[in-house]
Chain A
Amino acid sequence: MKYGKLTCLAFVVVVLVLAFVVLPVATGYAQTKSSEATLDIGLLFGLTGFISSRDLPDYNETLIAADVLNERGGVTVKGQKYKFRMVAEDTKSTMDGVASAANRLAFDKKVKFVIGPLDFFAPAANQVLNPAKVLRVLHWSGISPGEVDASTPYTFLGGNATVANALTVVKYLKKAYPNVKKIAFVTPDDGSVPYLFPAIKGLLESNGITVVGDAIAFANEAQDYSPISAKINAVKEADAAAQFNGHLPQICGIVKGLRQLGNTKPYYAAVPTAMSEIVPIIGKTAAKDVITNSISYDDPSIPPIAKEICDKTVAKYGKEYSLYLNGAQSLYALKVAIEAAQSFDTTVVKTKWESMTKMDTLFGPGNVGGKKTFGINHVVTHPQVVQVLKNGVVTSAGWFDTGMIP
């Protein structure tokens, strides 16, 4: 009994020490840690569902980019450094998922700056984010209404996407395939075709490349691309085919189908999908004359910050990982815009950003434009790399200056 009383007393003493000594110290430490200045950035990415093959790598790279930028001081406003704190929500590759995720970011987590979602998903978040004046940077856009235009005053396009990459298509084809004068236009039917097709067709034709016939559009969630390959193959007048949007399964399905039909014409997928992911799927027999806008991890000409993000991504996920860096560039563009405005007020940042014509990007000096093409001066462009697959060998064709989108 005497032993029992001592045990109880010891227990009480331990509890009291925990309550009045250990916990306050720990809490004080936690408070000290959380007093580090942070800026919450919402991320709207499709981490599950059919778009995840495209969005998940970009999302992972954005997280790495945040770490890299934080190591370099984060974002500085009025002399105070703020670290980026990423607040991610999964859009589940559905419109409902986008709306729900946007709601949680804007109203539960009170985020004022958001990156994403991907092009045709963007309008689903407008009714939530626009009234709340959340400044949003799309990491990819297809020029459809409600993505980046006059109806979305708080939305910017953070880097090269469909329209900018079309300019690299022109520049690269003229340099490497001067005999290519006519192309077949290929694109997923995500609602953007009535807008994307005339815009890009106009850009191409003003640069001497003719589009043969109508856009060859396919269902975004199709699994069998053999009929699409058959349609592209049937366009005998075209010297090449170019796909201006889409993701890995689509590119691979179409290229594989074309090569299975004996079509060996150049195929330019103007998206940042890496050859290292394409080649294993299409096979070595089909691995000829395929071009993308992907970064090669061992490209020595990648600018330093982008290089660091690429190196860390490869170290974590392997060499075959597609290096999109669209989300990373959007984060960087946001940082540059906030620092230019020296404010976290989204209206002040928006006003400053849309007055800019030049801006620094992860890939070198960039531009801000888009008034004529998009209806609003909210589109960032930057130097774009081209990756080429010839006879199974992947090489970088160098960087091309896209210039400003009019």
Chain B
Amino acid sequence: MELLATTAANVLVLSSLYILVALGFAFLFNMLGVLNLAHGAIYMVGGYVGFALAIAFGMNVWLALLLTTVIMGAFGAVLERLCFRPFAGDFNRTVMICVAVTVALQTAVNIIAGTRTLALPSFAEGGLHIGIAYVSYERIVTFGIGAVLLLATMLFVNRTKWGQQMQAISQNVEAAVLQGINVRAISGIASAIGCALAAIAGCLVGAYLNLGPFMGDLMLVKVLMLVILAGAGSTSGLFITGFALGIIDGIVPVVANGAISDGAAVIIVVVLLLLKPQGFFGHEA
């Protein structure tokens, strides 16, 4: 029973982290049509920026998280202006620039911080007994921040003017321009939000697990799986697919031993895609 309770807690935390990172990716993919393959690297850099602020500058870890969000949000806006906007509509060049950004970021982190495994200080020490399980405050905080941000993001997209403008752009760019929507400004905001969400997830993972210069690679694979499973244009679908992937990644390593657990998750995703190639919640292309 304790194993069941612990696994349930793991699933919730993993799901919230996956959805957080995937939402950031989806912002750019759904709103701007940009397949941001540098998203994993941005998630990784966010974690390292948080580490630098918390450790090198001795900041309180919560303040470091806030500042990291602002810094990486600004980075996202710059990235959109310099890397995505010039190649808007050109898929091949966008992919190349994303790969270049990824390599540049990973190399920079390698040179500055080395390949050593690092970690952010804990956001909350200790834990409490819930029934027969012991749940650390770290897990509760990670899940809590993830849940709050997800809710805030959905409210932003559905209830604010900027959010509705983003939805308009994702449906029809030309029509949005004709409606007087400043596509460039909204694109910058979408990119900033996407990168900020990735950076927050990077900091949370950096405290919950650890930091490494290649941590973004695996997360990018998870994000791509999530977005593809959810389907094109479906942001709300990410919640369900993120939860599903969290269940797979939380449970399979417990019931299956060894390296098979990684492969099993991918196989399940492939099977699901064979059943529904367009994803489960997206609209038809």
Mark A residues whose CB is within 8 Å of B.
48-50, 52-53, 56, 189-190, 193, 214-228, 230-231, 233-234, 248-249, 252-253, 256, 260-262, 277, 280-283, 285
Contact = CB atoms under 8 A, between A and B. Distances in A.
Nearest to A57: B116
B3 A216 contact: no
Given A219-B259, A230-B10, A283-B122, 11 more contacts: A48-B110, A53-B116, A189-B259, A218-B259, A221-B218, A223-B212, A226-B13, A231-B253, A252-B210, A261-B133, A285-B125
A190 B262 CA distance: 13
Interface in B94-141: 110, 114-119, 121-122, 125-127, 129, 133-134, 136, 138-139
A226 B117 contact: no
B18 to A, nearest CB: 10
Given A226-B10, A230-B7, A281-B118, A217 B209 contact: no
Given A228-B253, A277-B117, A262 B209 contact: no
A193 B258 contact: yes
Contact of B10 (A216, A221, A227): A227
B14 interface: yes
A215 B257 contact: yes
Given A189-B257, A281-B117, A219 B262 contact: yes
Interface centre among B6, B14, B215, B254 (most CB of A within 10 A): B6
Interface residues of B, number: 45
A282 B115 CA distance: 17
Contacts, number: 118
A220, A221, A223 — most chain B CB neighbours (10 Å): A223
Q: Which 7 A-B pairs have the closest CB atoms?
A: A189-B258, A262-B134, A217-B258, A260-B136, A227-B253, A281-B119, A189-B259
Given A222-B253, A223-B209, A225-B209, A252 B258 contact: no
A210 to B, nearest CB: 19
B2 interface: yes
Nearest to B110: A48
Contacts of B118: 280-281
B91 interface: no
A230 B214 contact: no
Nearest to A46: B115
Q: Of B110, B116, B134, B262, which is in contact with the most chain A CB atoms at under 10 Å from its CB?
A: B116
22 contacts: A53-B115, A53-B116, A193-B258, A214-B257, A220-B259, A223-B209, A223-B215, A224-B209, A227-B249, A227-B252, A227-B253, A230-B254, A231-B3, A233-B2, A234-B3, A248-B116, A248-B117, A252-B210, A262-B129, A277-B117, A281-B117, A283-B125
Contacts of B3: 230-231, 233-234
